[in-house]
Chains A and B, each alone.
Chain A
Amino acid sequence: MAKLKGLVVGLCGLVLAGCATTPPSAEALAANDPYEQTNREMLRLNGKIDRYFVIPTVGLYFLVLPEGGRRGVHNFLGNLALPTIFVNDMLQGEVSRAGKSMWRLVLNSTIGIAGFWDPAAKIGIPGHGEDFGQTLAVWGVEEGPYLVLPFFGPSNPRDATGLAVDTAIDPTNQIHIKQHLWWAGAREYFTLLDLRSQTYQTVQGIQRNSVDYYSSLRNFYRQFRNEQIRNGRKQALDLPDF
């Protein structure tokens, strides 16, 4: 799976390199989005994949699995991500958050039966996200131009690199068992189902409210990532004046 993701990221680079001959508009350059036309094409492709493949299976997922079961799947997938979150907490010097991640992993993997339940949250250790893209940002790496990756959606070179590194350091990807491809494929598929089932209404709302869905999504992604990088700490002084 790590090789597959690496291949996808590499393909993106090739596609973007191929499009570099088309001069970007002044607005695209001002928005740090020199590959806007390619990105818009990619968003259309992702939209088709979402519409014809992902959404129908999300519907099926809702039909087959009741809410409690879906929550269990969400918890289980979150638990699988905890080793990577722990490593990134440490790399960012967030020792307290790293401790929380470790406690969550221990409690939820044991009392929470392989992570299907979340007893850690019940005793006041809620989950948090962290990834190598955020770690790079904390280390001072700039995000680079906006990208829309095939299948993965909004990103940038920093986050795409982070995605590849997170995949490489994920312990479950180090297990070379015969069924690894099935395991990794199923995990990615359920991660997609889980994500889409949770964001379905939000995305629909953005599409409905948007004058330009592409730039709306681009702005949401950037603001959302900045919020994640700050770990929710407010930066009221950075706002523009009205």
Chain B
Amino acid sequence: MRPLTDMAPTRRALLSATMFVLPLLAAGPAAAATNPAESFVNDNIQKGLDILRDKKLNTVQRRDQFETLLLGLVDVRRIALFTLGQYRRSAPPEDIEAFVNAFKNYAAAAYQSYFSKYTNQTLKVTGSTQRTPTDFIVQTLLVDPSTSQPPAEVDFRVRTDTGKPVLVDVAYQGIWLSLEQRDQFVAFLGQNNGNVRTLIAHLSELAVNLGKPT
């Protein structure tokens, strides 16, 4: 049995710890508050997954609703221009505009194709990294309750420099989609004398094929 005098420092320590911990606990909700990029991802990406798994919608309704949501969240123009690489500088302005439109249709079809694989899963925001004051990487986990497999890591790149948060890229297990698209498009243009119209035709064809059931 320890004498009471030995217990006193322990009790004091406990009291001090409580005094420090209680304010922290009270401040819990404020500390857990997310930045605008995290809130943006948390609120909207799950909506997209919900649309894709909604069995009440037919194929056309699902595609249209997903496309509307996606185009409201994604800065398609910025991504399209990025994926053109060095050809952005040499292509005529009218070709650039036509490319942005073709890319919009292609991106909607491609994103739907990617995300339709994960409709049974739920998205959990785990944190974010701020690259610049207006450039965030939001880390999330796609959790599939039906499997014991570890959740997939999906990162979203969000820019806030236009006044509202917009999505500019997504990475699945560390592989960024826009970087991959830029490599493809630049290689394709390199093989076709930098002709953006050829790429537009190819993208339009792909968008139609992606819309067809597999």
A-side residues, CB < 8 A to B, are: 25-28, 31, 126, 201, 205, 208-212, 214-216, 218-220, 223-224, 226-227, 230, 232, 234, 236-237, 239-242
Contact = CB atoms under 8 A, between A and B. Distances in A.
A6 to B, nearest CB: 31
Interface centre among A27, A209, A218 (most CB of B within 10 A): A209
B1 to A, nearest CB: 39
Nearest to A118: B148
Interface stretch (B7-15, B46-54, B92-100, B168-176): B168-176
Contacts of A31: 183, 186-187
A164 B179 CA distance: 30
Contact of A232 (B137, B174, B180, B214): B174
Contacts of A219: 179-180, 183-184
Interface stretch (B17-25, B59-67, B198-206): B198-206
A187 B78 CA distance: 47
Contacts of B137: 234, 236, 239
Main secondary structure of the interface of A (DSSP, over half): helix
26 contacts: A26-B190, A27-B191, A31-B187, A201-B117, A205-B117, A208-B209, A209-B206, A209-B210, A211-B184, A211-B188, A211-B199, A215-B183, A215-B187, A216-B183, A219-B180, A220-B180, A223-B180, A224-B175, A226-B174, A232-B153, A234-B155, A236-B129, A239-B137, A239-B176, A242-B169, A242-B178
Nearest to B190: A27
A92 to B, nearest CB: 18
Interface residues of B, number: 42
Interface of B: 78-79, 82, 110, 113-114, 117, 129, 131, 135, 137, 139, 150, 153, 155, 157, 159, 168-169, 173-176, 178-181, 183-188, 190-191, 199, 202-203, 206, 209-210, 214
A227 B180 CA distance: 14
B206 A211 contact: yes
A25 to B, nearest CB: 6
Given A209-B113, A214-B187, A215-B188, A224 B174 contact: yes
A8 B199 CA distance: 37
A236 B185 contact: no
Contact of B175 (A201, A210, A220): A220
Contacts of B185: 211-212
Given A27-B186, A214-B187, 10 more contacts: A31-B183, A208-B210, A209-B113, A211-B184, A211-B202, A219-B180, A223-B175, A223-B180, A232-B153, A232-B174
